[in-house]
Amino acid sequence: MVRIAHISDSHLGKTLFQLVERKDDVRQCLKKAIDMAMRKSPDILVHTGDLFENPLPSMEDLTFAMDLFKSIQDKVEVFLVHGNHDIPYGYRHIQSPISALESAGVVKSTGNDHYKAHKIDIDGRKIEVHLFSWTRDKLFERKLNSIVPQTDPAFLFAHHIPVKKERLPIHFNYYGCGHAHSFWLDEEYDIGRPGSTCYVNWSKEVGGKKKLIVVDSDSQGNEYSTENLNDVREFKFPQAKITGMGPDEANSYLQGMISKLSPKKDGAIVIVRVDGIIDSETENGLDRIKILQHAENQLNSLFVHVEPNWICYGPREIKLKQPLNIEASIRDYIEQTDEEGLDDLLDLVGRITGE
């Protein structure tokens, strides 16, 4: 049996909202993921790309990665592929940071090519690990269809697999990929994506899972286990809906909602997504600075962000078909503004007019 631990998309150097604290968070998220993987005693550890946020990482990030992989190189075979963030497009004579790690002998990768196959020995058994770094879709598919592994089992890892799962060759016991930052595992087709090791692009990752994937593979097939990868910093994603509220009501509602949040740790990142349909008076009257100050005082957080996801309707012309007919005018207004409460308004008018 061969045991594989699969992680991806760590983006060392990513700050998120330009918070310098996130640089260390991201490093600690990667270390946490690798520590979790090593507790599973894998034969192979694979990271499927975007180890770094950009191809010119800080010396601190590069040294961190070098030391981290060096600390486990005698315990497990480590494989990395170049993600689109790792490749120095447009830079002359610049070596990618993944190639630097490979040149130091702490990991195996694709070298200067987009594809490379490695044959290794696991407990006296030969296996093949095929690696694809980020490349053009057609080039990937053409090369994929020309590969015939010489060992069983054989595994393929790529930063991105731009081929429908139904069209993947059956030669490989497991296909591992990255690029998208959310977890996905299809045990029928033996293809998995762990998601990122930290929050990278929160707006696309809210609600998605991030997991370590562990694959136990033998001649009988694969068995899978997963474990959640949580960011080392606490994130809160409250949602608010302020449809139809005036400015005072919206400000009071948002402050009250924030007061009810209860982060487990100091230094959380709170992202309040505000939805709804409001008018321009409410939009202009939202006191975001006061709301942010209230959140920081109440929650002792590192950072609070109010995401304006509302729709604002400015003053609109209402066309009345019968301006002197009160009931008809109310119906015209309700239909053109998508407001609610038609029956209540008509009932109120009836009681006022006595009709």
**Each residue of 275-334: pLDDT tens digit?**
999 988 899 899 988 988 888 888 888 999 999 999 987 666 778 888 888 888 888 888
Strand-pair partners of 275: 241
Numbered ranges of CATH 3.60.21.10 in the chain: 2-228
pLDDT 10s digits, 145-168: 999 999 999 999 999 999 999 999
**pLDDT at residue 106, as a whole number:** 96
Three-state DSSP class for 9? coil
pLDDT 10s digits, 40-58: 999 999 999 999 999 999 9
Q: No. of H helices and E strands in the chain? A: 10, 17
Three-state DSSP class for 103? helix
Q: What angle do CA 50, 184, 19 make, to 5 degrees?
A: 40
pLDDT 10s digits, 234-285: 999 999 999 989 999 999 999 999 988 888 888 999 999 999 999 888 998 9
Cα separation, 275 vs 242, in Å, equals 6
pLDDT 10s digits, 157-203: 999 999 999 999 999 999 999 999 999 999 999 999 999 999 999 98
CATH of 2-228, one of 3.90.660.10, 3.30.1360.120, 3.60.21.10, 1.10.20.10: 3.60.21.10
